[in-house]
Structure 1
Amino acid sequence: MLKSMTGFGTATVEANGLSATAEVKTLNSKFLDIFCRLPRGFSDREIEVRNLLTQQLERGKVEFNLSITRTADLRPTVTINRPLVTAYISDLRETANSMLLSTSDDELFRLAMSMPNVYLTESASNVDTAQEDWALIQQAVLEAISRCNEFRAQEGASLEGKFREYIQTITDRLADVETQDVLRIPSVRERLRGNITDLLGNEEFDRNRFEQELVYYVEKFDISEEKVRLKNHLVYFMEVLATEEANGKKLNFIAQEIGREINTIGSKANDSVIQRYVVQMKDELEKIKEQTMNVI
């Protein structure tokens, strides 16, 4: 089954006050080229995202974008130890009174907030929250990749239909070449017979040279082998197209072999009608080559 390198997929997953939207876009490229855009705070997850993309997307230029939105109130990661702050203020006020110093509540509060152990960090809770967030994000990434692959498969099915049309057109023109080749042979034979008559009337006629020239012309005008090879290449292209292992590189290699046989037929036929058929076959072949560049 063919898969196009052009694809797009997006997915949004919401849970636990978090909304994660992942977007995957792929274009043509000889290799797998990944560009990631992650929000601040998740840049340390880029390697994991790249691994997911590499495992699922075989080839192409990949643009990945992740956006995160908090849909619920955030819990502070740092809290204040209020009982301890109250104790600090009370102790500072008693100390100031004992020394007959006048202090305002604002001054006492600022001093208390600068004392040790006033701020509490919920580290364990933060780790759990980060792991839950990543699990949600990972789900969105995988869904976006899956939808991108579905898009690629749909495009691949469309390309497969086009390939079959192009190959069928070349096959039809090859049949026309075979028909015209039968009509071409008598005219070539008459041309050679006329040339032989002229040579036989020449006193300096060299029979050995004549035989060499005759063999040369026979080989030059005969396209039997090229027709057989071209037909075999067309059949092989269709066979590969129907397999699970079909890929752009292999199809392009077969297309190159098809092109060689078409060019040889055009150069050896020496017939205007066949030349027109060759031009039409080349036109279809260029479409095939262009489309194989978009197949994984």
Structure 2
Amino acid sequence: MTTDHLTDDRPPRHARQVASKVPEVTVYFWMIKVLTTGMGETASDWLARLFGPIPAVGLGGMALVVALVVQFAARRYVAWIYWTAIVMVSVFGTMAADVLHVGLGVPYTLSTPFFMAALAAVFALWYRSEGTLSIHSIDTRRRESFYWAAVLATFALGTAAGDLTATIGFGYLGSAVLYAAAIAVPAVAHRWGGLNAVTAFWVAYVITRPLGASVADWMAVGHSRGGLGLGLGPVTLSWTVAILGFVGYLAASRKDIRHDAACSDARFPPSEAAVNRRAG
């Protein structure tokens, strides 16, 4: 599932140009994305138990700010910088959804549509300002800001949605099966139903959050709650190791860098095929 085509990908004249700041969408992208969602879910709960909810939120917020500062300061996409930021968004997005439910008593039936509306607002402002939601157009600071705002909203929405289905009868395993089936819908609709690639990408992106979180929760919680009982700490650490392995591989192989971006890094003009692909 790619997001190469949407009308008017040209940045405004006054916007500051930057190199591509996001990875190519490959199978590795989706694998790491699901891993970060699950790791963020269990890490958030684990940190809350270790330090208490308020200190955990403070630590998570500070770590997120640092990760995003480094990401924005980078001149182009760097695997470990980008995925560190995604991990911290996952951890803090989980905390944001949990604060509404646990701290403020907001039910998931309200927080889920709230975060859905927040994400819709980000997309509306982004499209109105830039004329595109394609992740392959993240080449200005403003577009990068919209992108990360959308990412944070998707994680909060996915957390609330996953907890909602888990508490209304599906359980963690049932929720995992539900979202595993749901994530195939945008892929099939894009491949055979004519669904726009950008829309298909963002729908799948949202669904990866409750999918990964449900699987991780199922592995971590005790048998009395229908889980494997492995514990929050071991699940968090094992998924972190998996993330590090995949990101290390991508950093070495550069399989997640678009061909035209690689040419640009090497100070060569993009190939005719790359230009045509970008225009399409």
Please, what TM-score do these two structures have when normalized by structure 2? 0.24
Give the number of the structure whose residues are more often strand, by fraction.
Answer: 1
Give the number of the structure whose residues are more often helix, by fraction.
Answer: 2
Please, what TM-score do these two structures have when normalized by structure 1? 0.23
